[in-house]
Amino acid sequence: MLIKPASDIRSSEITDKTVYLNRREFIRAAGGTAVAAAAGIISAEALLQARGAVHGRKLENVRKGPFSTEEKLNAWEDITSYNNYYEFGTDKASPADLAKSLKPEPWTVAIEGECNNKAAYHLEDILKGETLEERIYRHRCVEGWSMVIPWAGFPLANLIKRCEPTSKAKYIEFTTLSDPKQMPGVRSPVLRWPYVEALRMDEAMHPLTLLVVGLYGEVVPNQNGAPLRLAVPWKYGFKHVKSIVKIRFVEKQPLNTWQLAAPDEYGFYANVNPTVDHPRWSQAT
């Protein structure tokens, strides 16, 4: 099965500086700029000096998955130097510079809520018995830029089945690590920490929904959400939660972080649709 791209989207559409800074108007309105500067978060000009991540450990026995686009891949340098990861700053280059402080090993994920197998699992236990697949997905940001990325991971549905959700589990909520010692952006109130996202259960069980542990056949770099993140190719990037430390099965629809921050601009479903504009910029790229 191939994921068909829209014909008018190029392989790399790096956001014009004026566009992505427009999104940051919310942060400035919340008084986050001064706090971010005090926390040592890098300015937007650092984008001009962006660089890719150092290559990491190779993953073993990654097979080609059945679900991929045939579009031209973005380079390692593009993917690892141009990121939204507010825990490490609000500029695109900040995560590449500041995520070196993240310690992705050892890593534990708490499984909670409406399921039979609640526990705190080491990442090694989560990966045990899983066959990693390479999935080439277009990652589309709500800001209007996109990249084509070769992720490595396994279907989220596999983990859900192992957790044995009860009949009350209608949604699955994901929480990102929030540690000001490792994540300087968390010292700034630009968002309500920790970062939380969620999917409807049928979306989480969809075969395209991927738990990611790798990029270009290597362990996923810190700035891209190490060591465990989500990739959901039909949803905007803010749904692709990074550095997951908690998965919770719930009955009622959770509020995600961007809904709480700007409810007039960000919804729960966030399905990619270039014909529907963001309230403050066009999605027609």
The pLDDT of residue 166: 98
Cα–Cα distance measured from residue 110 to residue 96, given in angstroms and rounded to the nearest whole number: 27
Q: How many residues does the chain have?
A: 285
Cα–Cα distance measured from residue 209 to residue 178, given in angstroms and rounded to the nearest whole number: 24
CB distance 162 to 110 below 8 Å: no
pLDDT top residue among 155 and 24: 155
Residues 6+ apart with CB under 8 A from 155: 207, 209, 210, 211
Helix H or strand E encompassing 175:
strand 171-176
DSSP 52-71: PPPP-PBPSS-EE-S-B--S
CB atoms within 10 A of CB 282: 11
Cα–Cα distance measured from residue 34 to residue 28, given in angstroms and rounded to the nearest whole number: 8
The 3-class SS string of 86-155 reads HHHCCCCCHHHHHHHHCCCCCCEEEEEECECCCEEEEHHHHHCCCCCEEEEEEEECCCCCEEEEEEEEEE
Mean pLDDT of 20-30: 50
Q: Residues 84, 89, 90, 96: what is their CA dihedral angle, to the nearest 10 degrees?
A: -50
Q: Residues 205, 243, 90, 219: what is their CA dihedral angle, to the nearest 10 degrees?
A: -100
The pLDDT of residue 39: 42
Strands 218-219 and 210-215: antiparallel
Cα–Cα distance measured from residue 10 to residue 23, given in angstroms and rounded to the nearest whole number: 22
The 3-class SS string of 186-214 reads HHCCCCCCCCEEEEEHHHHCCCCCEEEEE
Please tell me what DSSP assigns to residue 43: P
pLDDT tens-digit readout, 176-214: 999 999 999 999 999 999 999 999 999 999 999 999 999
CB distance 185 to 90 below 8 Å: yes
CB distance 102 to 184 below 8 Å: no
Structural domains of the chain in order of their starting residue, each with its CATH number: 17-261 (3.90.420.10)
Mean pLDDT of 112-138: 98
pLDDT tens-digit readout, 208-248: 999 999 999 999 999 999 999 999 999 999 999 999 999 99
pLDDT reading at 110 higher than 50: yes
Name residue 78's amino acid. Answer: D
Name residue 254's amino acid. Answer: P
CB distance 219 to 56 below 8 Å: yes
pLDDT tens-digit readout, 62-104: 999 999 999 999 999 999 999 999 999 999 999 999 999 999 9
